Structures are given as C-alpha cells and as structure tokens.
Structure 1
Amino acid sequence: MKRILLSLAMGLTPLLAHAGCEDNFQKWTAQLHPGRTLDAEHAVCKAWPANEALTIAALPLPQKGSNDDTSTDDLEVLVADTASGTVIAHQFQKSAFSYDAVRFSGLTIDTARYQLTPQNRAFGIRVAHEGSSRVNPFGQTALSLYVIDGQSLRMVVDRLIVEDSGGEWDGNCAGSFSNTTRSLDLGPAGKEGYVALKGTEKSAQTVNVVQNGDCKYDVNKSSKRTGFTLEYKNGKYTVPKAMQYSD
C-alpha cells in the first residue's frame, strides 16, 4: 500500500508543479492579443481568495519599437475561471507604463477586502516604478482598483500613489530622504451604494550627516499622519491629482 501511495504521489508531482495560473499566460495573450509579445518576467496572476473559482492576472505587453533602454507597455488585466482558464472579464490599457529615467519595475495583485458594495468586491493591481539615479533615489507604487462589470473590468480607483520615496545624497552618507505611504479602509456607504474609502497617509523626513568621520543616520527625523477620503461619484472614486501617479 505504501508503494502504491508513493507511486501516486510521484505521479501527481509533475501535474501539481505545472498547475499554476502562470501556465495560461501565453494562452491569454494569444486569445486577447494575437501576435503580441508578452513580458512574461513581469506578468502576474493569483487565485482570488474571496472566490478561488476566479483567478486574477495582469499581463504587460511591450509596444513595437521597445528596447532595453526605452520601452512603453500596454497592460491587460483579466479575471478568468480558475479551473478552465476561460477569460470571464478583462480590460486593456494602452501605454500603461514605460521604461525610461523612471522605470516600471513590477506588478503586484492586491486582494485585500475591498468590499465596495454588498455585491461588488474590488481587487487591486499595484504598479511599481523606480528611478535610475543612485544619488537621487526615487520610487513610487500606484494602486488601481477594479470591479467586474459584465464581461469587462471597470477601474474604480485610478493609480492612487500608495508608496512614494525619494531623496538626495552624496552617494556615501550625507543627504535627506522622504517617504510617504497611504492605506485604504472602508467607510460608510454613500448615495450610490458604494462605500467611501477612508485613507491614512503617513509621511517621514530623515537626514543623514557625517560627524567626526562617522555617518549618523536619521538625524532630525520628522513624521506626520493625516487622513483623507475618496468619494464615489459617476462610476469611480475621485483621486486628487497630487495623489495620482502620472508618467
């Protein structure tokens, strides 16, 4: 019996190893964008914890003429049936992000509990960017939220900056740095049935200096915490320009 169980386990191992949603990347690309090349290195997918019968994916698609130095990518965001891989709903975004002085560096699927109405639960796609300068470091991550709307996905939050860091230093020690993070929580339901999104913003400023030949970190550190609210109106949440990512 032990030998039989061991043989069955060994036989199932290859199947389990190849049962991930990543196996559908090329299939989805060919179906939705025949002839296009997928940036498989940055493509992501994840079964939706709120409903594991559904899988979320984000597929970056480099435009023609892109190269290692400069590139513009389109983005396909989709929800598929987990068992079959059949696409249920999707949204295509042209020129979603680019590689240049500020470069696209990665995608993350956010499946926090964004229950916007009793019937509509959103999921998020986080897009990270980073600067190429060592002495002027820069990084930003923007969050967009989507809900299923028939056979389409509807973006209800458009590129809210949830992480923002930067600075200027001498490449060795001395310099100043800033960091801001934003998080979202659910507020009361509004007139259209969608909850308000209650945000918290935390920001910090730090300074490094050289004293007696030693680097002193986080000198004159300051921080503050503020709140903000995103209200739902006309099919989406209004994101203030100062909080919205823009190329």
Structure 2
Amino acid sequence: MKRTLLCLVAGFAPLLAHAGCEDNFEKWTQQLHPGRTLDTEHATCKVWPANEALTIAALPLPQKGNEDDHGTDDLEVLVADTASGTVIAHQFQKAAIQYDAVRFSGLALDTARYQLTPQNRAFGVRVMHESSSRVNPFGQTALSLYVIDGQSLRTVLDRLIVEDSGGEWDGNCAGTFSNTTRALDLGAAGNDAYATLRIREKSVQTVNTPTKDDCASKEATGKRTNAVLEYRNGKYAVPKGMQYSD
C-alpha cells in the first residue's frame, strides 16, 4: 500500500470555522448539555472537506469555579448534518482540558487525509496550551483522532504531542530554546485493516549568545526519532513521553 504523507506540521495551517456553522453553537450546547455555558472564544467548527454533507465541531464547556488563570473545561466533539445542524454523532469528554500555570490557548480542527481504512476516515482535534511567561516560554499542541461509530465518536489516537516548545532566556538575548515537532505518515494496512501510523520527529535546539554589537543565534538539530503505531484493541497506543498529560 502506497504511503500517504500527512502534512501535519509543515503543511498545517489554522483552519477557519465555516461561515454559518458557528450559528449552531448555542443549539448544540443546549441540546447536549442544557444549562451549560460554552466558551465561544475557543469553540470551533467547519464543514468536513472529505464529506461536505457533514460538519465537525469542538465545544469547550467550562466547569464551575474556573478562574481566568486556572480551571478545567469539559469538551464536546461532534459531527452534525451540514444542512440542518442535526447532531449525528458525538463524544463528551469530562475534564478534557485543564490549565493552571500553562493556559489553554485554543482548539483547531484537523482534516488531513486520515483514511485509516477504506471505510473509516478520521478527523483530528488539536488542543493548544502555552505559558504566559516571557522569559520561560512554553507551548504544546496535542492531537486526537476520531472516527464515527454509530451515534458516537470513538477516539483512535489520544493526545499525541505534535508540537512541544520551550526555553529560558534573560529577556534580552542570552538563552536556550527547544522545539520538537511530529508528523504522521499512513503506512500499510495492519490489524483489523487499519493503517499503521508512522511518526516522524524532528527536534531543534537554538542557543542565543550576546556579541559585541548583536545577538548571535546557533541551531543544532537533534537525532530524528521515528516510531510506528499499530492499531490494537480499538486504538493506536501513544508511546510514553509523546502523550500529553495535564
């Protein structure tokens, strides 16, 4: 089976909500969670390019007692009929998003060509966190993949960290920064006819050093790490150290 490259890092760009689908945010929230408040700033939706009759959405629902700088959000991920807005399948994840010293900064829908089997095409939800510290910057993006399973959505890949960056510097020049990105390829069909997922990891470390008249920057690329994820027991197991944890 010919490998299909999924440009999840270099070719990935933020996906804008489809005009009009956000009009269903309140309808979906009150239908599935009557009385709950939706974080409309971070909620997102778009028509699924693989099947424009369907619209996908990710709705963060703040729990009671949340503060601006710390709290917990539940997450509703759903697929709806594009024409009517009727929910076709969904999954509710309690306490899916937590933030304290590192804040929750956004959601993005990932509709790359995740054709896991001839019958099952997945879509992704990316959850992004970042720190507010200027001298100790930090950011992480985690990707989960879902397939439609009857009236439910089934998670087949759970919170794979696809971008991880951090650093420490003096606020002027001197400092060290690191950035790790991961991309996915589809491999040959394996267990239950599901394609294997091949992870390609790239790490770059940057060191800034003050000079007489400037700030010199030197990059070093770390050893590339590859991993192969096999589909077993209904999901792809994410290796230790590559999975986001709160």
TM-score, structure 1 normalization: 0.90
SS of residue matched to 2:24: helix
Paired position in structure 1 for 2:162: 162
8 A Cα contact 1:61 1:76, kept in partner: yes
8 A Cα contact 2:69 2:101, kept in partner: no
Task: Return closer, same or farther for 1:183/1:37 CA change in 2, 3 Å cut-off.
Answer: same
- Within the alignment, does 1:153 sit opposite 2:153 as a pair? yes
Paired position in structure 2 for 1:70: 70
Measure, in 1, the Cα distance between the counterparts of 2:111 and 2:143: 12
Measure, in 2, the Cα distance between the counterparts of 1:213 and 1:190: 57
Paired position in structure 1 for 2:240: 241
Displacement of 1:50 after TM fit? 0.3
Paired position in structure 2 for 1:100: 100
Measure, in 2, the Cα distance between the counterparts of 1:152 and 1:220: 45
TM-score, structure 2 normalization: 0.91
SS of residue matched to 2:223: strand
8 A Cα contact 1:116 1:194, kept in partner: yes
8 A Cα contact 1:204 1:224, kept in partner: no
- Within the alignment, does 1:178 sit opposite 2:181 as a pair? no
Q: Mind listing any 5+ residue stretches in structure 2 that lack a counterpart?
A: 1-17
Aligned length: 229
- Within the alignment, does 1:137 sit opposite 2:131 as a pair? no
Paired position in structure 2 for 1:10: none
Structure 1 segments of 4 or more deviating over 2 A?
Answer: 220-226
Give 1:1-247 correspondences, 5 Å limit.
Answer: 20-217=20-217, 219=218, 221-247=220-246
Measure, in 2, the Cα distance between the counterparts of 1:207 and 1:70: 31
Displacement of 1:67 after TM fit? 2.0
Higher relative contact order (CA 8 A, sep 6+): 2
CA RMSD of aligned residues (A): 1.2
Q: Which amino acid aligns with 1:244?
A: Q
SS of residue matched to 1:201: strand
Q: Mind listing any 5+ residue stretches in structure 1 that lack a counterpart?
A: 1-17
SS of residue matched to 1:133: coil
Paired position in structure 2 for 1:12: none
Q: Which amino acid aligns with 1:230?
A: L
Measure, in 1, the Cα distance between the counterparts of 2:172 and 2:19: 47
8 A Cα contact 2:76 2:93, kept in partner: yes
